[in-house]
């Protein structure tokens, strides 16, 4: 019997968690989370970790299983997720994967891309530039050297920008040129289910989610993490803006609006990333779950 990995894809706040749980319940399957921000147990509110009710409605893996003090790479996640899938597919020939991190999703389905070694001095220089001139200077440089990567990677994350830039500078080729290697062999067939919405609806959902996070205690959560603000895991939307407020560089109202703005930008890049994948079966985010299930079952049969 063939194995299948159903992957629920879409922009942040579009409703992937709810759909993945309904699919898991229908197919009696378990869920692999590949949201790289939800790995960390100290970051609950700002990463929109599924609620206790959602986590008990279907078995999830890789939710709050790491600490921000651990270094956890996409390569390590790929290995861990494939091992877990081997276990799950022994019990059921179908598993569910969900998450907003396209890099992590692709690592599980297709394997990681190969990147050549470059001089560590390049990264050191880029880190100096980040410290002295700010992230905007790195964003501008990446836009000049590799527009495709600028439009697809998480450019609010300095770690991601520096990684792309060091490849561009160290090899003389674009970062995106190294992302086209043949797909890795897997013991499952992927079925990608994409959720879409009009941009205005998507942005309204994001704004509302941020307001809910604030009501739930995001500011207090960020205060506890503030002493560790330089950790790589915390270089992410929702925390970085509040750290800037704690530093006295802006008002709280401005920080909250920046969270909304940067989350909308992130969602826009997710949409751009996903549009390039012709294997995704797209549905409006309000589509009845029975229609999605019927589509999946027709693909399996």
Would you state the pLDDT for residue 120?
Answer: 86
Domain extent listing, the chain: 4-113+181-300, 120-179
β-pair partners for 191: 6
Would you state the pLDDT for residue 157?
Answer: 85
Indicate the pTM of the whole model. Answer: 0.82
Q: State the Cα angle at 163 between 107 and 118, rounded to 5°.
A: 105
Asked if 96 contacts 34 with a C-beta cutoff of 8 angstroms, the reply is no
Binding-site residues sit at: 10-17
For residue 65, what are its two tokens?
A: 């299983």
For residue 135, what are its two tokens?
A: 């992230």
Q: What is the pLDDT of residues 22-40, one digit of tens each?
A: 999 999 999 999 999 999 9
Q: What is the pLDDT of residues 53-64, one digit of tens each?
A: 999 999 999 999
Q: What is the 3-state secondary structure (H, E, C) of 98-126?
A: ECCCHHHHHHHHHCCCCCCCCCHHHHHHH
- Chunked mean pLDDT (size 10), the chain, 301 residues: 93 96 98 95 96 96 96 92 97 93 89 83 92 93 94 85 94 85 86 97 98 98 97 93 98 98 92 89 98 97 84
Measure the CA–CA gap between 21 and 36, rounded to whole angstroms.
19
**What residue has token string 């960020």?**
222
For residue 256, what are its two tokens?
A: 């909250």
CATH architecture of 4-113+181-300: 3-Layer(aba) Sandwich (3.40)
Binding-site residues for ATP sit at: 10-17
Measure the CA–CA gap between 56 and 213, rounded to whole angstroms.
21
Would you state the pLDDT for residue 223?
Answer: 98
Q: Of 48, 80, 86, whose CA–CA distance to 208 is shortest? A: 48
For residue 179, what are its two tokens?
A: 């992302």
**What residue has token string 């990463």?**
47
Collect all residues with Cβ–Cβ distance below 8 Å to 285 and sequence separation of at least 6.
10, 14, 15, 195, 196, 197, 201
Would you state the pLDDT for residue 1?
Answer: 61
Measure the CA–CA gap between 146 and 166, rounded to whole angstroms.
11
Q: Which helix (H) or strand (E) holds 190?
A: strand 189-196
Collect all residues with Cβ–Cβ distance below 8 Å to 214 and sequence separation of at least 6.
256
CATH topology of domain 120-179: Histone, subunit A (1.10.20)
**How many Cα atoms within 13 Å fall on the side-chain side of residue 195?**
26
Would you state the pLDDT for residue 4?
Answer: 98
**What residue has token string 């792309």?**
164
Burial label for 14, CB within 10 Å (0-12, 13-18, 19+), is buried
Please tell me whether residue 301 adopts helix, strand or coil conformation. Answer: coil
Binding-site residues for substrate sit at: 12-17
């Amino acid at each position: 019997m063939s194995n299948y990995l159903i992957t629920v894809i879409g922009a942040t706040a579009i409703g992937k968690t709810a759909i993945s749980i309904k699919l898991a319940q229908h197919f009696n399957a378990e869920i692999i989370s590949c949201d790289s921000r939800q790995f960390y147990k100290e970051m609950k509110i700002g990463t929109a970790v599924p609620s206790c009710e959602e986590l008990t409605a279907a078995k999830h893996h890789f939710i709050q299983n790491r600490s921000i003090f651990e270094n956890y790479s996409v390569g390590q996640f790929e290995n861990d997720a494939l091992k877990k899938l081997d276990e799950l597919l022994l019990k059921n020939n179908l598993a569910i994967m969900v998450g907003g991190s396209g890099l992590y999703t692709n690592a599980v389905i297709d394997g990681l891309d190969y990147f050549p070694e470059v001089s560590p001095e390049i990264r050191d220089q880029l880190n100096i530039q980040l410290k002295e001139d700010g992230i905007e200077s790195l964003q501008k440089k990446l836009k000049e050297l590799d527009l495709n990567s600028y439009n697809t990677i998480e450019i609010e994350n300095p770690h991601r920008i520096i990684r792309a830039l060091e490849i561009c500078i160290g090899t003389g080729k674009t970062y995106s040129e190294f992302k086209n290697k043949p797909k890795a062999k897997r013991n499952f067939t992927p079925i990608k289910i994409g959720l879409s919405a009009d941009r205005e609806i998507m942005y309204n959902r994001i704004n509302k989610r941020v307001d809910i996070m604030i009501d739930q205690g995001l500011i207090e959560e960020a205060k506890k993490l503030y002493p560790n603000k330089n950790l790589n895991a915390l270089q992410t939307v929702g925390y970085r803006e509040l750290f800037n407020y704690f530093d006295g560089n802006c008002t709280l109202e401005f920080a909250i609006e920046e969270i909304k703005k940067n989350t909308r930008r992130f969602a826009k890049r997710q949409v751009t990333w996903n549009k390039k994948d012709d294997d995704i079966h797209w549905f409006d985010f309000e589509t009845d779950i029975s229609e999605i299930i019927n589509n999946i079952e027709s693909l399996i049969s």
